Amino acid sequence: MRKILVTGGAGFIGSAVVRYILEQTRDSVVVVDKLTYAGNLSSLAPVASLPGFAFEQADIGNGPEMARILDTYQPDIVMHLAAESHVDRSIDGPAAFIDTNIVGTYTLLEAARHYWQTLEPVKKQAFRFHHISTDEVYGDLHDSNGFFTEQTPYAPSSPYSASKAASDHLVRAWSRTYGLPVVVTNCSNNYGPYHFPEKLIPLTILNGLAGKPLPVYGDGQQIRDWLYVDDHARALYLVATTGKTGETWNIGGHNERTNLDVVETVCTLLEELVPEKPAGVCHYRDLITFVADRPGHDVRYAIDAGKIARELGWLPQETFDSGMRKTVTWYLSNKAWWQQVQDGSYQGQRLGLAGKE
């Protein structure tokens, strides 16, 4: 039984990782999360009362706090997901991305290095620092048949992807220079339950249900490779617990779709699952509205996930169709979750568990 410290565990992917570990393995978890606008304790509600769960509200940029938490919980693995993650926000206000993704990762790395150096030999040997990153560090794929591999040079386009690229480099440098046992993963776009409604798929579902415009950037022909979040969570646990240190794995869903395809898929599912439409709406797809393109918008991302399949035996279980159906169905069945996000009340929530905050 391991103890795994998960930063950003109240976010979209982090909460899926925490739910996966506590529901599918014998390991225990301590979540470290600042609870920014993207952190939502309701996403942890299904597992928050389990004995293996602990929660610390803290900023990864606070070195003494990170040292205290590492010292208190003595984790075997750190899975680092805490980040500012929304590209549009990084364009409007890059400072928080530099603070959390670069300086915060540096601060956490230093705390982890000092903690790791104090461990007794067997635990020190087994320790892992897992940095969870994005395929956006590779920039645009100009070759329409090509794929990002672990050898693709970094060429980030947005303040978000540049900050994640910087944090990847820091993590590798801490491995090479100080010997910290690290593993890094770079994953394609995730989708699924508990996704914050500012992102394309949940925004499209909720705007569709409300009869509001469904915004699509530019001509909607930007291609992304989509992965169901629970498939990502399973891959991350596999890498964190069995991946060889010093290595990187790309993770992807083999689901390349244009943004317009994605929005149309949501519309088709809504037609089937919610035939009673909002007033004045004949077809959900009539709500599609093309808006000015995002500055610096990358045209295509696609992942070669062959290494993780060959070495660790991971393959996605969901197809795009099955994952999208699960996702739309989840939003239809979990109104309370997204209504609390929309009215802002999720930010006042507490886990309500003594000693867990």
Binding segment toward ligand NAD, per CB under 6 A, in 44-52, 186-194, 274-282, 333-341: 186-194
DSSP state of 278: P
Q: For ligand NAD, how many residues bind (rule: CB under 6 A)? A: 31
Secondary structure of residue 182 in the 3-state scheme: strand
The residue with its CB nearest to ligand NAD is: 11
- For residue 108, the one-letter residue type is L
Residue 116 in contact with residue 179, Cβ under 8 Å?
no
| 56/287 with CB nearer ligand NAD | 56
Interface residue with ligand NAD, options 36, 245, 340, 349 (CB under 6 A): 36
Distances (CA, A) of 120 to 68, 76, 111, 124, 245: 18, 12, 17, 6, 18
Minimum distance from residue 185 beta carbon to ligand NAD (Å)? 8
**Maximum C-alpha span of the chain:** 68
Q: Distance (Å, rounded) from C-alpha 286 to C-alpha 211?
A: 10
Minimum distance from residue 146 beta carbon to ligand NAD (Å)? 19
Contacts of ligand NAD in 157-176 (CB under 6 A): 164
Q: Tell me the DSSP string of 246-271.
A: T-EEEE--S-EEEHHHHHHHHHHHHH
Token pair, residue 289, equals 């509205």
Token pair, residue 312, equals 């660790």
Residue 323 in contact with residue 244, Cβ under 8 Å?
no
Interface residue with ligand NAD, options 107, 152, 190, 248 (CB under 6 A): 190
Minimum distance from residue 211 beta carbon to ligand NAD (Å)? 26
| 34/257 with CB nearer ligand NAD | 34
| 84/256 with CB nearer ligand NAD | 84
Residue 33 in contact with residue 11, Cβ under 8 Å?
yes
Minimum distance from residue 8 beta carbon to ligand NAD (Å)? 3
Three-state helix/strand/coil letters over 139-180? CCCCCCCCCECCCCCCCCCCHHHHHHHHHHHHHHHHHHHHCC
Interface residue with ligand NAD, options 4, 5, 6, 8 (CB under 6 A): 8
* Residues with a known catalytic role: 135-136, 160
Interface residue with ligand NAD, options 42, 105, 157, 189 (CB under 6 A): 189
Binding mask 80-119 for ligand NAD (x = CB under 6 A): -xxxxx--------------x---x---------------
Q: Distance (Å, rounded) from C-alpha 289 to C-alpha 214?
A: 6
| 32/267 with CB nearer ligand NAD | 32
Contacts of ligand NAD in 46-85 (CB under 6 A): 59-61, 81-85
Minimum distance from residue 56 beta carbon to ligand NAD (Å)? 10
Residue 42 in contact with residue 346, Cβ under 8 Å?
yes
Residue 319 in contact with residue 255, Cβ under 8 Å?
yes
Interface residue with ligand NAD, options 18, 47, 137, 187 (CB under 6 A): 187
Site residues, ligand NAD (CB under 6 A): 7-8, 10-14, 33-36, 38-39, 59-61, 81-85, 100, 104, 132-134, 164, 187, 189-190, 196
